[in-house]
Amino acid sequence: MRSLLLAGGRSSRMGKDKALIKIDGIAMIQRVAQALAEAGREPIRIAVSTPEKIEEYSKEIDSSLEVEWVLDGEQYAGPVDAILESLNDPLCANIDSIQLATVDVPWIDHEVFWGLEKSLSENDVLAMPADPERAHPLLSLIRPTELLKLLEDWKGTPLHQTFANYPHTLLMIDSATLRNVNQPSDLD
């Protein structure tokens, strides 16, 4: 099963590249990539904003992981554009499901990804993790063909609302595991 790791953001609230921030000595991009690999979600397609990011990030990612690097068609366009680009790529055609992930969830583990796979029903377009406060659409397990058809009419509504309108399953996960790092205080 494939995955799409979104790593093309500006990290403007953080003030430095989130993907390269180390947690317990390991860059956040490696932590998430490792969790995807442990869950059997290779190849890991990593969407980045510039060719320089490929060089920087590849220094942090274990070379034993099966990685495909792709450049965002439009720099900093946002996660929906990166998802649509990947879903339109012939390499992602005829795949039953793709695991989405972002670099800013360094405490995610492979069990979350396994849980999403177990919870995705035959009639679902996606399985989305949630904690008691909110859903996390960018960590969803998606059915690419169905989601592509639905997202083509996307009107810019928040992704958690958009995804909630499609047939889906919510998987409740401990909020510490899904903790998102967006600004320096999130590391405390």
Residue ranges of domains in the chain:
2-187
As a whole number of angstroms, the distance between CA 30 and CA 85 comes to: 23
As a whole number of angstroms, the distance between CA 99 and CA 2 comes to: 6
DSSP letter at 184 equals G
Tens-digit pLDDT profile for the chain (188 aa)? Answer: 789 999 877 666 766 789 999 999 999 999 999 999 999 999 999 989 899 999 999 999 999 999 999 887 666 556 777 777 777 777 766 788 999 999 999 999 999 999 999 999 999 999 999 999 999 999 999 998 888 877 777 777 788 888 888 899 999 999 999 999 888 777 87
- 45 forms beta bridges with 4, 68
The pTM is what? 0.91
Alpha helices, DSSP H, located in 43-138: 51-58, 79-88, 110-119
Total number of residues shown for the chain: 188
The per-residue pLDDT for 16 is 78
User: How many other C-beta atoms can be found within 10 angstroms of the C-beta atom of residue 140?
Assistant: 30
DSSP letter at 64 equals T
The per-residue pLDDT for 156 is 76
What is the architecture, at CATH level 2, of domain 2-187? Alpha-Beta Complex (3.90)
The per-residue pLDDT for 10 is 62
